[in-house]
Structure 1
Amino acid sequence: MTARPEGSPATEKRQTPAAGGGGEGQEDVVAVPLRRLLAYARPHAPVLALAALLSCMAAVVELAQPLVVKQVFSQLSDSRPVTATVLLIVGLFLAEALLGSVQSYLLGRIGEGVVLDLRTSLVRRLLKWPMATYARHRSGDLISRVSADTTAVHGALASSLTETLAGVLTFAGSLVLMLMLDPLLLGLTLGCLLIASVSVFTVSVRVMKATVEAQRAVGRLGAGLERVLRAIRTVKLSNAEEREESALISESRDSYLAGIRQAKLQALIHPVTALSVQGSLVLVLGIGGARVANGTMELGELIAFLLYLMYLAVPATTLFSSFTDLQAGRAALARVQELLDEPLETEPPAGPAAAPDPEPAPPSPARRRPSGISLHGVTFAYPGRDDRPTLRDLGFEVPELSRTALVGPSGAGKSTVLSLIGRMYDADRGAVRLLGRDVTRMPLKEVRDLIGHVEQESPVMAGTLRSNLTYAHPDATDAEIAEVLARTNLTEFADSLPQGLETEVGDGGILVSGGQRQRIAIARMLLKRPRILLLDEVTSQMDAENERLLNETLKEAAASCTVLVVAHRLSTIQDADQILVMDAGRIIQTGTHDHLIREPGLYAHLARTQLLPTAPPQPDPSAAAR
């Protein structure tokens, strides 16, 4: 993988991203320094050098052709045979074609290699970002950067750089030979090219800015389309197709208009170059023809000069085009580099230099088992919300090999607690410990190997039922899979599928019901056999029978792992060994169901209002007396 250049800013000029900007539109002038762009070609230096050598050889062969043509005219004027010279010209043409073909193949390889390196770097970093970073970028825009922007770098690094080298050589060689043939005509030609160069440079700077805007527009379109497709059921059930269609078409039109502006500017480059070449050609023909007529210049010299002028036009056009492509590539790489510069999830220091894990607080005498999960003085606020902490000086302990339920009103911070335990985020203050160890001092892989986390959304990924079940444990055997299917009441469902476990479940599990998605997600984590099982509202879409079976499964699971479940249904939590009641980021009550239901407080209120009925209605004694 290409080493990412260090020690320099990603862009020449960048504004500070605004909160919630989604990673779009923050840059003022977006362009990486050229040295950083060249750094990505370094791993391909040998092949790039060979391509450059072939380009130089092709340029030399091309530069030799007008001299040979001049020789043909000299031989004809002296009535000498020209067969050998003509064969030499044919040989030069063939050599140039062969060199160009090999060079084109090598450039293609280099370009694809650069794109592979960039995409590999992006993928490796994208999957290791902290959760707060994902919140600042829209998924569709990220996809656009990984696909479209890396492709734009292809031309800048491969074709543009090598063709620029060959163009410079051909241009310089043509100038030297034209100077030897006729300095006056060369001066006229350079005057025309100077005007073209200034014009093209001015246009190219604007092309770079237009390219950035076009790439951003494509990113916004991709983000909008990804948002709609992810929630396509909601879109349809809300009769929102026309509104979303209008929004996407508007984004498409913005992309179209940005592309038109880019194409309009790029379209100016060719006519400016052509006019300069045609203007110089007219001058050379007029003045050169007059000089041939008065005998101060030979016809062969004029023809050779005209050929060099045409050769000068090709590298000039190539140089102008390559400069524009280079600017566009710098702009595209800036968007890529912004992602590569994002910090990764933090790991604890490795080796003997790492500070020892502080001893956890001694267990209270009342607790017989060691702590599976413990939080001590934890305060946490989501990025950008420092004035509104979600958790405030939170502390509790979950004994190992027990079932603990976390309940409370919406927004109390229950799901946030699970995120901190799994190190999706780190606490601003305080400590989170698993099995007595501070999670910030444990390698991320070790933390997440210990944990099985079933999320509130219960995501099911595109693929087969088997791939979803074994996602956290790819080496699971058929016997292990059959066991978790039985424990989560999925055996009958799996047997009913056309291809059994090999049946596709659709993008996002669209082909299975909500309750089935929840049970698949639970089965996936049970198959992992974690030491700590975190469940976030996993029964919200289950019927009573499946919920009853799940509760039995959780009782069994508590014999081999520590279970912490966030739930609103009383049937899920009333048999828990411990219930923690949260409100406004703090634990305000702790105890068993039987204890908490009898004391005034939030739990009893929730049980009466939000949870299922606490007990069957009792007959009224006075009614019997009447």
Structure 2
Amino acid sequence: MSFPAPARGRRGRRAPEGPRASFRQLVPFLLEHKRTLAVVAVLSVLGAAATLAQPLLVGEVISRVQNAVPLGALVWLLVAFVVLSSVISGFQHYLLQRTGTAVVYSSRRRLIARILRLPVSEFDARRTGDLVSRVGTDTTLLYAVLTQGFADAVGNALILLGAVIAMAFIDPLLLGLIVVVVGASLALVVLLSTRIRAASADQQAKVGELSSGVERAVGSIRTIRAAGATEREIAAVTENATAAYAAGVRIARVSALIVPVAFVALQVSLLVVLGVGGYRVASGAIDVASLVTFVIFLFLLVQPLASAIGAITSV
């Protein structure tokens, strides 16, 4: 974990800027829970297999109904896969939430030990409230990164890859149209995420300044009251809170652009599949069962894409 972001010292000067954090710095925290994460990865693979089997079974059910062939145990097999996928998903969610909480706990312990061992000169260069903010608010971002699709990327990648391969076998033309629509949407999301990163860093800095202002005001409350400066201090701290609010609004504004991008991508993809796919069914290029299976695989793409967008935003 990189050290807290630079903040103005007690005398108004800025502390030396530390190195930018990297993914490599997350590895020690994740390795502490490698067994749990290995179980999560295995569950992701099993869940992906159970999820990918469902559209194929639905297509087989439709084909048998069209050809007046008995379904046999096919319906029960489909129900079993649905239940299995749901159970795996629930247990995997629990493990991820627990691991995310443990990672935050580990990072807080290390950061507390790091702060309390700093040279005294560092405390002169940094405000106490800012350091406290790093232990409290900054570490919770690790939880968001871990639980927003970072750890279960294995299962999502398998679902995405399996769905794309199956769709390629069903109808390469339809798949090509979907790739164009989704690719353009993802490119736009990546572009917007750079703005989220800058706004998020600014928000964390403003929250640190807010904590510092509150800590300074509370520690000097007797002097402030004696000097009749209560209203002035309230205004100063409120200004910091307003700056943090403004940074949060900027994040919300950019995030609000990402949500409709993903929604539009799904809607346009569905319209393309139904329009072009309906035409190809009418021309005899594919049958109804294949089109329905393709549509289900299209909806399966939503989960990994949503996780990827969420992970990009969180990271």
Shorter-chain TM-score range: over 0.9
Q: Distance in 1 between matches of 2:224 and 2:41?
A: 54
2:203 is paired with a residue whose SS is: helix
Match of 2:47 among 58, 67, 90: 58
TM-score w.r.t. length of structure 2 = 0.93
Q: How far did 1:31 drift?
A: 4.1
Partner of 2:246: 257
Identity, in percent, stands at 33
The AA in structure 2 aligned to 1:170 is I
Offset of residue 251 of structure 1: 0.8
1:7-86 map, 5 Å: 10=2, 20-21=12-13, 23=15, 26=17, 31-82=20-71, 84-86=73-75
Tell me how far apart the structure 2 counterparts of residues 109 and 96 of structure 1 sit (CA, whole Å): 20
Q: Which runs of 5+ in 2 are unaligned?
A: none
Partner of 2:164: 175
Amino acid at match of 2:304: P
Structure-2 change in CA distance of 1:150 and 1:23 (3 Å)? farther
Query: How many Å separate the matches in 1 of 2:149 and 2:277?
Result: 34
Say whether the 8 Å CA contact 2:200–2:251 is kept in structure 1: yes
1:236 maps to 2:225: yes
Alignment of 1:311-322 (within 5 A): 311-322=300-311
User: Which runs of structure 2 are paired with 1:160-559 in the superposition (5 Å)?
Assistant: 160-326=149-315
d(CA) in 2 for partners of 1:284, 1:275: 14
Report which structure shows greater RCO (CA 8 Å, sep ≥6): 2
Which of 96, 103, 116 aligns to 1:127? It is 116
Q: Is the 8 A contact 1:168 1:319 kept in 2?
A: no
CA distance, structure 2, for counterparts of residue 221 and residue 16 of structure 1: 11
Aligned-pair CA distance for 1:23: 4.1
The residue type equivalent to 1:210 in the other structure is: A
Deviation, structure 1 residue 247: 1.1
Q: For the Cα contact (< 8 Å) 1:270–1:317, is it kept in 2?
A: no
Contact residue 8 and residue 125 of structure 2 kept, 8 A: no
Q: RMSD across aligned C-alpha pairs, in angstroms?
A: 2.2
Are the equivalent residues in 1 in contact too, given 2:103–2:143 (CA < 8 A)? yes
Separation in 1 of the partners of 2:191 and 2:59?
38
In the TM superposition, what is the alpha-carbon distance from 1:126 to its structure 2 partner? Answer: 1.7
Letter in 1 for 2:23: L
Moved over 6 A (4+): 14-19
Q: Deviations over 1:17-43 (max 9, x none)?
A: 99854549x47xx74222222332111
User: Which residue type is aligned with residue 235 of structure 1?
Assistant: I
- How does the TM-score come out when normalised to structure 1? 0.48
Instruction: Tell me how far 1:50 sits from its aligned partner.
Output: 0.8
Shift of 1:207: 1.0
- Which SS does the other structure have where 1:285 is aligned? helix
CA contact (8 A) 1:170 1:312 kept: yes
Q: Which has the higher helix share?
A: 2
1: distance between equivalents of 2:174 and 2:224? 69
Distance in 2 between residues matched to 1:54 and 1:74, nearest whole Å: 31
Aligned to 2:125: 136
Distance 1:59 1:236 in 2: 63
> How far is 1:155 from its partner?
2.1
Quote the Cα distance in structure 2 between the aligned partners of 1:254 and 1:16.
Answer: 15
In 2, Cα distance between equivalents of 1:234 and 1:90 = 71
Aligned length: 313
On the 8 A contact 1:23/1:136 being kept in 2, the answer is: yes
- State which of 146, 155, 158 in structure 1 corresponds to 2:135: 146
Contact 2:33 2:99 in 1 (8 A): yes
Residue type of the alignment partner of 1:50: V
Aligned with 2:102 (options 94, 98, 113): 113
Give the drift of 1:302. 0.3
Partner Cα distance (1:216, 1:54) in 2: 38
Does the Cα contact within 8 Å between 2:61 and 2:71 map onto a contact in 1?
A: yes
Instruction: Measure, in 1, the Cα distance between the counterparts of 2:224 and 2:274.
Output: 68
Equivalent residue letter for 1:302: L
Kindly indicate whether the alpha-carbon contact (under 8 Å) linking 1:160 and 1:325 is maintained by their aligned counterparts in 2.
no
Shift of 1:208: 1.1
Per-residue deviation, 1:204: 1.1
Q: CA deviation at 1:260?
A: 0.6
Query: What SS class does the counterpart of residue 73 from structure 2 fall into?
Result: helix
Q: In structure 2, what is the Cα distance between the partners aligned to 1:258 and 1:159?
A: 22
Task: Give distance in 2, aligned partners of 1:196 and 1:304.
Answer: 23
Contact 2:8 2:127 in 1 (8 A): no
The whole-number CA distance in structure 1 between the counterparts of 2:7 and 2:93 is 41
Larger radius of gyration: 1
Give the AA of the match of 2:125. R
Cα shift at 1:163: 2.9
Q: Is the 8 A contact 1:164 1:322 kept in 2?
A: no
Query: How far apart in 2 are the matches of 1:291 and 1:47?
Result: 47
AA aligned opposite 2:67: D
Counterpart of 1:286 in 2: which secondary structure? helix
Task: Flag the 1:16–1:221 CA change in 2: closer, same or farther, 3 A.
Answer: closer
Q: Which runs of 5+ in 1 are unaligned?
A: 5-9, 327-626
2: CA distance, partners of 1:284 / 1:52: 32
